[in-house]
Amino acid sequence: MRRLLALGLTLLAPLPLAGGDSGTGRLPAAQPTLTGDLQIHDPAVLEVGGRYVAMGTGFENVDGGTLRIKTSADGLRWSDAGTLGTAQPAWVAKQLGTSPPNLWAPTLSRRGGTTYLYYAASLFGKNTSGIGLATNPHLDPAHPAAGWTDQGAVLTSRPGDTFNAIDPFRIDTADGRAWLAFGSFWDGIKLRELDPKSGRLRSGNTALYSLASRGGGAIEAASILEHGGYFYLFVSFDRCCAGLESTYRIMVGRAKKVTGPYTDREGVPMMKGGGSQLQATSGRFIGPGGQEVYRNGAQDWLVYHYYDGDLGGTPQLQTAQIGFDAAGWPVLGALPK
């Protein structure tokens, strides 16, 4: 479950693949060394006019637990930009019966000049949850907290439902349609179609698609990338939010349609627990996950958090250009030192 510290939109300057562009079967460049204020959890990224905004999960019981914001002029050095307001939207307490300590796991996307922000509100360990939407017609990276209108809840869940309405991710596909992936534990990762303009669920398609499951086990933080005739589904497996004890790891599968079926490198269906490991704990980079794909110029990138072993397990921001091997599977460059 994407939760903890900051609300994040993250934007990064394009870096070249080592030896070629993504999709050539060559490894991408090493992951960049980021500096500045990197404390964030469940980051999302958006590039606006050559500048970068990152949003992430709110600090518990600080500024209402609202989403936190960071900005960067180059995608490498980051500064804290405060929070998205100081009070949670009214629908949250109505849906949950109380105001939770913080809001979780934002995702950012743009269409037709409008920026769409989806976020989650939940009671920890329960599927009493909801996904909200805010829109901004003119997002200014110099004032990223300004101009937002909350549109209320888009999707909710409650005890008895087979899914958990958290960890949203919007993908606008090449055919002009839009989709919302979400889910954590329970029956796993789900998908609903959106109306592209309003950002709300499409009334003409009420189907709930099942994308990935571990039979009630730990799977969450879905994100989907359309590339080279495939849809790639990135998820996080195992234990989140435990600092140095976290075992989060980034997994991936792919499908020919956004609705699935998704399989891993070995052909194991993701609905049966399949997933190919993309990144796991290595050195001081503990429990990487809460990831999200985003477009940066002509390149595909991944943003995620990890728990820094040199900083006592504080969650930190990291970005990586996505490359593709000769078989068309995503690969990431080496971790920074």
Say which CATH architecture domain 35-332 belongs to: 5 Propeller (2.115)
CA atoms within 13 A on the CB side of 279: 27
pLDDT surpassing 60 at residue 324: yes
Query: Distances in Å between the alpha carbon of 100 and those of 12, 31, 122?
Result: 31, 35, 7
| 42: annotated active-site residue | yes
CA pair distance 245, 308, nearest whole angstrom? 11
Q: Give the residue-averaged pLDDT of 59-88.
A: 97
pLDDT in tens, 263-303: 999 999 999 999 999 999 999 999 999 999 998 878 999 99
pLDDT in tens, 11-48: 333 433 333 344 456 678 899 999 999 999 999 999 99
| 220: annotated active-site residue | yes
Among 42, 187, 193, 292, the one annotated catalytic? 42
Query: Distances in Å between the alpha carbon of 74 and those of 28, 52, 120, 210?
Result: 19, 7, 28, 38
Global pTM value: 0.92
Burial 220-247 (b: 16+ CB within 10 A, else e): bbbbbbbbeebbbbbbbbbebbebeebe
Among 47, 220, 292, 300, the one annotated catalytic? 220
What are the DSSP calls for 139-178, one per residue?
--TTSTTSS-EEEEEEEEE-BTBSS---S-EEEE-TTS-E
pLDDT in tens, 216-238: 999 999 999 999 999 999 999 99
Alpha-helix residue ranges (DSSP H) falling in the chain: 90-96
Structural domain boundaries of the chain?
A: 35-332
